[in-house]
Structure 1
Amino acid sequence: MIRRRLGEISALALATALWSGTAFGQEALPEIEVGANAPASASAATPRPADGLAQKPDVTINAASEKVWTGQQVNAVPFSRPGEALEVVPGLIITQHSGEGKANQYMLRGFQLDHGTDLSLTLDGMPINMRTHGHGQGYADANFLIPELLSSIVARKGPYYADKGDFSSAGAVDMQYVDKVDPGLIAATGGSFAYGRLLSIKSFEVNGGNLLAAIESGVYSGPWTRPDEVRKINSVLRWSRGTQDDGVSITAMAYANRWFSTDQIPERAVYGGAIPLWGNIDPTDGGNASRFSLSGRWSQTEGAHSSRIEAYAIRSTLNLYNNFSYFLAQPDISDQFRQFDRRTVLGFNAQHSVKYEFAGFPIETRVGLQSRYDNIRVGLQDAYRRQPYDTISNDQVAEGSVGLWTDTTVSWTPWLRTVAGVRLDYYGASVGNIQDPLSAPKDSATGLPIWTGPWNSGSKTAALSSPKAGIILGPFEKTEFFLNFGEGFHSTDARGTVTTLSPADGSQVATIPLLVKSRGAEIGARTKIIDGLDSSVSFWWLDFDSENQFEGDTGNTTFGRPSRRYGVEITNHYSPTPWLHLEGDVALTHARFRGVDQLQALTWVGLLQPGSFQYGTYVGNAAGNFVPEAPSIVASGSIEVGEKTGWFGALRYRYFGTRPLTEDGAFKSPATGSLNLRVGYRFDNGWAIQADAFNVTNSRSDQITYAYGSLLKTDALYGLCQAGTAPANVCAIGVMDRHFKPMEPAAVRVTVSGPLPF
């Protein structure tokens, strides 16, 4: 069956996007500043290496880990999902544990970032991370991204930047779309497992400016026993005039997606023969999502002064149906639950910079104001085959924030400059729980409703300051040295700040703070002393006052222990000739909790008691200091060959090592490595054909792995719990096991693309 479906070609199928095979030339980086101003006419489709380099924004590198890429560089290697385009960031892993419409899982600097917590993603100044979200804090769904439209990506890691606030402690990735694509692009792709994609991009001259229009549609089933049946449509419309530094633009985006999902599955079910490797437990899992936005940008540069204002309005919706524990809580009808999120987001970013001299020293001072308001309807329901039957929580949330920041760069000598800044943030949130007592879940013992709404409403405010500082030495022989320090934060789910009773069982819980502080430092170097080789190394450290996470299946927020991470990152880019480019990156991380998890220790002691010990549920439930799912090693390498026309190709390998899955380290994930390949041909007339092959070694490792307790009807414990002979604390946990999403088997996609000259 797998072989048959491997050869399926969607009706949309034809072949690959011209951009994605574009080889890029290596720009000789200035000794301090990187890149040039991005012109409004920068093209994501024209296959000239020089075009990609012209799109680099004017960015002054202030940390060894800070990196800049053009759209062509991003698209030069094969990736299977839009979010995976961000894996150009060294040490960043993008993966998936559910369907193709759900936000990706992100891993960076010893964080399993869930769906975006502590990794800030923005596109054209608009935030992608969603706070107080139905599925997880900082939920960042990048499935609406059109990689061919990318003009640039700027990645910065650590809390050292005054203009970066919420969710940016581990890192921040700022994406920018192009303003114009000339002569346009049409591309059609088809491939294994009923994959199909159509894309059209075209620019027009309208009212003294450029009107950019793009539309994309896609379908995908995947290798799963229950096909994903993804149906996706996406569009962008932008009018712009001038340049990024001195111009204006207005952009509208629309995106909709629906899908089924094969979520992570228990290892015992696969190796016990209950389900195949590509099988599922609940075939009705899945969801639908939409996102509509309107944004504007105004910028002006005049002499030593420059200003930029970005404003946006976003409307998004999400329905998710998941079942991760199977028959643990609801042994008769299964544990599926529905999470819903409806929100309107309004916000703006404004900044002004001025360059001047004081006492003979060149100085640049920037000041900025950022504000955001989210109006959210969010909730959690128990469901059976996508039919909700009770409401655990139903909240109307209003959350707003204002951030004021400034930094000043002083060039003391040609080889020494400093950056010092501070950020002031104020957050306020109001939570109104509108749970209906008649639809509340019922207590299994008494039959009474677990109605917690009136005790889980209220408001919360918080404010904090975050100082930042950096020292840059060099260049010395084309080498610079960096020292950075900063404080940052992330916001927590507003519901957790007012919740006093657990929505799941009515037990008393403690409220949590709205903002959590982080502190970090980094020392590193960046060099181009070898001609054609751009290398950097950075040693970093990051502390969090608390590791907290919204638990979407219970409606609770866990306010965890403090944590500490430190590590080293090494990156290399080598271009010995204009037609050959090599990348090699490795990141090593040590991540641990600080302190003792007393509640977990008590749980473990209870599982060691007579009557409970024999079931083995204690394995994986001991208190420990491992941060679950934190990657200790991430590495990647790529080779790209090709020029303006003719044959081209690329090879990319990415690897992330074994990870502890529980605090005590009793369960560990396997290491995962995957190899992608591209080969294609570009014609003189702008048309191209290419083939992308994914997981060419047909690895059977995991996309992602978890360890927790679940219960299947085929488990011996299921019958014991139903009969009431197993202890309650054992039945509450179930069978501890690894739960994994397998890597998709080897697959091929072919794309034909060309210009739209009309």
Structure 2
Amino acid sequence: MKKLLIHAVIFLSLFVTMYGQTLKGTIVDAHTQLGIENVYVINTKNHLHFHTDNSGNFLLEKSSVGDQLNISKEGYIEKSITLTSLEPIIITLTPKGQLLDEVVIQKKLQSFNAIAEIDLKVNPVNSSQELLRKVPGLFIGQHAGGGKAEQLFLRGFDCDHGTDVAISVDGMPVNMVSQAHGQGYADLHFVIPETVQKIEFDKGPYFAEQGNFATAGYVAFQSKKQLTSNQISVEGGQFETSRILGLFSLIRSENENLYTAIDFQKTNGPFEHPQHFNRYNFFTKYSKTLSNHDTFDISASHFTSGWDASGQIPQRAVDMGLITRFGAIDAAEGGETSRSNLIGHYFKTISHATQFRTHFYLTHYAFDLFSNFTFFLNDPVNGDQIRQKENRTLLGFESRLDHQKEWGDWRIKMSTAVGYRQDLTKKSELAHTLNRHTTLQQMQYGDITETDQFAYFTSDFSYQKWLINPSVRVDYFDFQYQNFLLPNALTQSQQKVIVSPKLNILYQKNNNWNVFLKLGKGFHSNDTRVLLSQSPRKAVPAALGADFGTAFKPFTKLWVHTTFWYLHLDQEFVYVGDEGIVEPAGKTQRMGWDLGLRFQLNSRLYFSSDLTLTRAKLLETPASENRIPLAPVTTFVSQLTYTSASHWNGSIAVRYMGDRPADETNSIVAKGYCVTDMNVSYAFSKSLEIGTIIQNLFNTQWNETQFATTSRLQFETAPVTEIHFTPGTPFFGKIFVRYKF
């Protein structure tokens, strides 16, 4: 019996040696000690390979002592190791010094994201507004105080506050459906920018992972799993502006991390009536790598903000000398808002070819906004101030299974996912008010329940130089509105199913050039209160898009991305100034050209530039009345950054938006602008840095947001339709001190 047992042990040892065991490991950055995502790890003996997950973990089956692993990722020095044991290992990769020199044009549809990582590394951000500006061609504008979500412009869209740009943070949607102020309202102010690790984005409706509002494009932010150091930062500047930031690592180990971030900001702005803006942010995140190399993280955040606003002022009031550019007609505008979030993720590696991931989110959201767009047009005595208010609970999840397979030169990756989102909005209100305190009339008041159940399938077929990506997404919507202004608080409901097929094709000529064609159908849902009065066909209007473009490196220090694109919408939302709302305006089409350049002049100077040209029109109106109000025609951004090996760092950036039509006939024009910003910093050591940030360096007089609005001042006998605007920030300087420990 003993002899038989010995033979069994010997046989088992030979079996393990012959067929190998499963090797688990983690790839980390040599400088930051953070896990590196999408590192290519291959066993040169059996050619099994793995791409690391978002925590840097990998798993290789059939590994044996003596096998050689090759580890590579763009931007890092390639590494080879020989296995001396099959215990879990940690492998460090060293970043390469040159940025663009080492970037290769990857065989990926979202080829811009590699450049986005460089942009974020070269030019870190310190405000949520700057986060959005990291997306090439995306412009923002503030027009009702610093606490209100920015107005977004992308690819010829005035996206209002997010109607046609899907925004998410760690998989949690930011856009609010049927929001009190506007459909798709996306307030990103709850994000502390120093906690952002990665920004993913793309333009057009071409990715099954992105659903509602992803028509002009999407932006997905990913927070850090751990901090490289603790940090305390203090800022102060003009207009009684200040900011205090603290980042603190509470647990930092190989398998477990916990950190907290606290942020407080306030300012009165350049306005004659102080904004009294303040914002409190809190964020904490715990992440753990389990014994089987599965990963789990959970984060919690809370923000609250309050402000006063000078609103949009009519040009005639400035021309007549009634107010200055920074004055107000109704100084009682403003609001307050808050958002609390809980987000969890779980990632499991089932085998070298199969991974499972799931995430959930829970949000409580409150919003209370006072605006006055038309002054005394509708109520000559009390004025036209309105209140938009809601309380919302948002919850949902998404679970996804990824599987990849290889047959010779064919590599296939398939992903299947299911998800659920529900918005429970209580006491959504639109009311006519006086001085923020008195409700004169309730115009809308009720509870909204909107549910989106979805599933999608996407696959990548890679063969030699070709990548083909067919996918399909199915969404089932359930819209319900309990209208408290109707007898017996009647509940209305409607259901809608929308199928969104996509097809993307890429040809990879070599590591310096690829060509792609993207085709897809996407959508943005309509406001529940609006669609219940329309046919089901208009509940979720579709968007049909096509992109044809290329990414290439004509030489090592220059990266170029150019795209010709087309987008058709079944229904457009257009701003209606006399109501202060957006309403459907029929079918539209946009076509245009995007050009992006990144050029590394030398090891210290980095240049970036993005240009978008667009032609947009309404399809169901005469040619003389087919302009889409506020649709950008030309946008341009350029930035030059200096990064010192020792102490000095700085950048200068220019952004330009050309003139654009403010109404359908182009008889009223929203004037363009060109603004220059600058920042300079000096690092005394690795721990201490001071600097200055200057917005609008040349003190340009510009209008940040503009609308063609019909309004009446109190002394006027007839209404006037003209440009109403929020003035852009004048020369604005602030200094900061950062201490890391």
Which residue is equivalent to 1:92? Answer: 138
Which residue is equivalent to 2:362? Answer: 313
Offset of residue 212 of structure 1 = 1.1
Change (3 A) 1:61 1:202: farther
Offset of residue 67 of structure 1 = 2.9
Higher relative CO (CA 8 A, sep ≥ 6), structure 1 or 2? 1
Asked if 1:530 corresponds to 2:555, the answer is: yes
Offset of residue 556 of structure 1 = 7.5
Offset of residue 643 of structure 1 = 3.1
Which residue is equivalent to 2:499? Answer: 465
Query: Distance in 1 between the 2:578 and 2:174 partners?
Result: 23
657-666 or 359-368, which deviates more? 359-368
Offset of residue 514 of structure 1 = 1.8
Out of 227, 231, 253, which is 1:185 matched to? Answer: 231
Q: Write out per-residue CA displacement over residues 224-270 of structure 1, whole angstroms, 9 at most, x where no aligned residue.
A: 01111011100101100239x95110100000000001111000000
Which residue is equivalent to 2:483? Answer: 433
Offset of residue 70 of structure 1 = 6.1
Whose strand proportion is higher, 1 or 2?
A: 2
Offset of residue 84 of structure 1 = 2.8
Query: Distance in 1 between the 2:663 and 2:696 partners?
Result: 28
Secondary structure of the residue aligned to 2:529 is helix
Give the greater-gyration-radius structure (CA). Answer: 2
Offset of residue 288 of structure 1 = 0.1
Asked if 1:692 corresponds to 2:693, the answer is: yes
Asked if 1:216 corresponds to 2:263, the answer is: yes
Asked if 1:572 corresponds to 2:593, the answer is: no
Q: Write out per-residue CA displacement over residues 500-533 of structure 1, whole angstroms, 9 at most, x where no aligned residue.
A: 8xxxxxxxxx887321111000000001231121
* Structure 2 segments unaligned to the other structure (5+ residues): 1-31, 41-50, 58-93
When the two chains are superposed, the root-mean-square deviation of aligned CA atoms in Å is: 3.0
Secondary structure of the residue aligned to 1:114 is coil
Q: How does 1:105-254 map to 2 (within 5 A)?
A: 105-205=151-251, 209-242=256-289, 246-254=294-302
Offset of residue 37 of structure 1 = 5.6
Secondary structure of the residue aligned to 1:67 is helix
Say if 2:107 and 2:506, in contact at 8 Å, map to a contact too: no
Say if 1:64 and 1:538, in contact at 8 Å, map to a contact too: no
Which residue is equivalent to 1:731? Answer: none
Q: How does 1:566-645 map to 2 (within 5 A)?
A: 566-596=591-621, 624-645=625-646
Q: How does 1:62-77 map to 2 (within 5 A)?
A: 62-63=108-109, 66-68=112-114, 73-74=119-120, 76-77=122-123
Secondary structure of the residue aligned to 2:119 is helix
Q: Write out per-residue CA displacement over residues 149-206 of structure 1, whole angstroms, 9 at most, x where no aligned residue.
A: 1101011111111111000010000000101112211100000101100000011227
Q: How does 1:275-424 map to 2 (within 5 A)?
A: 275-301=323-349, 302-358=351-407, 361-377=410-426, 378-387=428-437, 388-413=439-464, 415-424=465-474
Say if 1:136 and 1:550, in contact at 8 Å, map to a contact too: no
Change (3 A) 1:61 1:284: farther
Query: Distance in 2 between the 1:298 and 1:268 partners?
Result: 57
Offset of residue 686 of structure 1 = 1.9
Offset of residue 586 of structure 1 = 0.4
Counterpart amino acid of 2:731?
A: A
Say if 2:366 and 2:390, in contact at 8 Å, map to a contact too: yes
Offset of residue 370 of structure 1 = 1.9
Say if 1:638 and 1:653, in contact at 8 Å, map to a contact too: yes
Say if 2:576 and 2:709, in contact at 8 Å, map to a contact too: no
Query: Distance in 1 between the 2:172 and 2:114 partners?
Result: 19
Query: Distance in 1 between the 2:56 and 2:440 partners?
Result: 52
Query: Distance in 1 between the 2:630 and 2:577 partners?
Result: 18
Change (3 A) 1:477 1:431: closer
Secondary structure of the residue aligned to 1:86 is helix
Say if 1:98 and 1:264, in contact at 8 Å, map to a contact too: yes
Counting aligned pairs with the same residue, the percent is: 29
Change (3 A) 1:688 1:652: same
* Structure 1 segments unaligned to the other structure (5+ residues): 1-21, 42-47, 436-451, 501-509, 598-621, 718-733
Query: Distance in 2 between the 1:392 and 1:226 partners?
Result: 29
Q: How does 1:494-513 map to 2 (within 5 A)?
A: 494-499=528-533, 513=538
Secondary structure of the residue aligned to 1:277 is coil
Say if 1:466 and 1:488, in contact at 8 Å, map to a contact too: yes
Q: Write out per-residue CA displacement over residues 530-584 of structure 1, whole angstroms, 9 at most, x where no aligned residue.
A: 1121111000000000113687985987332100001000001112323211001
Query: Distance in 2 between the 1:676 and 1:159 partners?
Result: 32
Paired residue total:
653
Which residue is equivalent to 1:714? Answer: 715
Counterpart amino acid of 1:420?
A: P
Which residue is equivalent to 2:28? Answer: none
Say if 1:136 and 1:551, in contact at 8 Å, map to a contact too: no
Secondary structure of the residue aligned to 1:204 is strand
Say if 1:181 and 1:203, in contact at 8 Å, map to a contact too: yes
Query: Distance in 2 between the 1:58 and 1:130 partners?
Result: 37
Query: Distance in 1 between the 2:327 and 2:619 partners?
Result: 39
Query: Distance in 2 between the 1:293 and 1:403 partners?
Result: 22
Secondary structure of the residue aligned to 2:509 is coil
Query: Distance in 2 between the 1:464 and 1:106 partners?
Result: 26
Counterpart amino acid of 2:722?
A: D
Query: Distance in 1 between the 2:386 and 2:319 partners?
Result: 26
Secondary structure of the residue aligned to 1:475 is strand
Say if 1:78 and 1:678, in contact at 8 Å, map to a contact too: no
